[in-house]
């Protein structure tokens, strides 16, 4: 975190950018430190359900890390160029 002033400035600019994009997306404002609360709730929930989300995400990251051929295969199969 850069500090409260920089974080609030970034949030204000992001809201303006989303409004000018004219999409149906909305920004969920969790206030200044809400991300930690949401992260903790998500982590508690997936542990309680027995989901192994952390190891799954680490495996996907390792599979795509620095391997251009896998990047190309992913783009070809999914049609998406957005990576984790």
Kind and range of the H or E run holding 66: none
Buried b (16+ CB within 10 A) or exposed e, 37-61: eeeeeeeeeeeeeeeeeeeeeeeee
Domain residue spans of the chain: 1-51, 52-84
Give residue 32's pLDDT band: very low, low, confident or very high (50, 70, 90): low
Residue whose structure tokens are 């508690």: 44
What was the pLDDT predicted at 33?
67
Q: How many CB atoms lie within 10 A of CB 11?
A: 14
As a whole number, mean pLDDT of residues 14-42 equals 74
Residue 1: is its pLDDT beyond 60?
A: no
Separation between Cα atoms, residue 39 and residue 33, nearest integer Å: 11
């Amino acid at each position: 975190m850069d500090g409260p002033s920089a974080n609030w400035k970034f949030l204000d600019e992001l809201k303006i950018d989303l409004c000018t994009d004219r999409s149906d997306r909305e920004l969920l404002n969790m206030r200044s430190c809400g991300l930690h609360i949401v992260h903790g709730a998500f982590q508690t929930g997936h542990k309680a359900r027995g989901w192994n989300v952390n190891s799954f995400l680490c495996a996907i990251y390792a599979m795509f890390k620095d391997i251009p051929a896998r990047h190309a295969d992913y783009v070809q199969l999914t049609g998406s160029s957005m990576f984790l």
